[in-house]
A and B are shown apart, each in its own frame.
Chain A
Amino acid sequence: MKKVINETELVFSAVSENESFARCAVASFCAQLDPTLEELSDIRTAVSEAVTNAIVHGYRDSGTGKVYISCKILENRTLVIKVRDKGCGIEDIALAMTPLYSGDPSGERGGMGFSIMESFTDDLKVISGLGKGTTVIMTKKFSPFNFCSVDPKTI
């Protein structure tokens, strides 16, 4: 087990207004790793996908239930984010993770949520059971902190 350097937890109502709150909160927590703009954008996007899934699919957009996020910063600039809901669960995880597959019949969601989480982080695990809710675990390793990235002449 890698040593946990810093951690935080968030619990909030499963309503769509909290999608931006969740990604901003996680991005703020990551600021201590001095991420690049692209790394920060990747984290915001991946968290937004996981939280939206919890609200729209986990709790079927009912506005009830809570979303639980835990963030841990481990040694070697590694961030582990868990997004958990206690909603309906996923019957077929492999099918749900297929690019372009969407459980939303309106066809307005693209079906790319898991593909984005997968491509914008270094590791993605999905644990789910019918009636037991879903947990998404995303791991991202940030690029080495580089003092030289700041031009000494500008200090």
Chain B
Amino acid sequence: MEVLTAKYEFSDNVLKITLSGEIDHHSAKAAREEIDLRILECKAGTVLIDLRNVGFMDSSGLGLILGRYTHAKEAGSVLKIVNPSPGAEKVLRMAGSDKIIPIIHRKNN
């Protein structure tokens, strides 16, 4: 399977986290702590999680996003989802998470 990787870019008070690969219970466990650490370190006003390269995501991925949303809020950051893949967006909308975490579609970046 595709291993889950995270790429971090921090500029202009925005931390962009690009996740690539498959998010399930197994891969989410490893990603959680690392992402939390970066959110704490950067203390950015906005945290963007880019899901365009996430080929698969189940409710563990949803749990990962919701957990990071809470963590970011405690760190004083606002978290948003950018360009989710169709599969990831279906899970997010089915669970109604888009009512608290905005989903943004952008053509560039």
Contacts and interface: CB of A to CB of B under 8 A. Distances in A.
Query: Is B truly associated with A?
Result: yes
A52 B28 contact: no
Interface string A18-57: 0111011000000000000110010011001100100110
A57 to B, nearest CB: 11
Contacts of A23: 56
Interface residues of A, number: 27
A45 B64 CA distance: 16
A108 B91 contact: no
B22 A20 contact: yes
Contact of B25 (A16, A38, A115, A119): A16
A119 B28 contact: no
Interface in B54-85: 56-60, 62-64, 66-67
Contacts, number: 74
Interface in B1-35: 1, 22, 24-26, 28-29, 32
Which one of A44, A112, A113 has the greatest number of beta carbons of chain B within 10 Å?
A112
A115 B59 CA distance: 9
Interface in B89-109: 90-91, 94-95
A109 interface: yes
Given A19-B24, A41-B86, A109 B63 contact: yes
B60 A110 contact: yes
Contact of A112 (B26, B28, B87, B95): B95
Interface of A: 16-17, 19-21, 23-24, 37-38, 41, 44-45, 48-49, 52, 55-56, 107-113, 115-116, 119
Given A111-B59, A116-B59, 6 more contacts: A20-B1, A45-B56, A45-B57, A52-B25, A108-B67, A116-B94
6 contacts: A16-B26, A48-B56, A48-B58, A49-B59, A52-B25, A119-B94
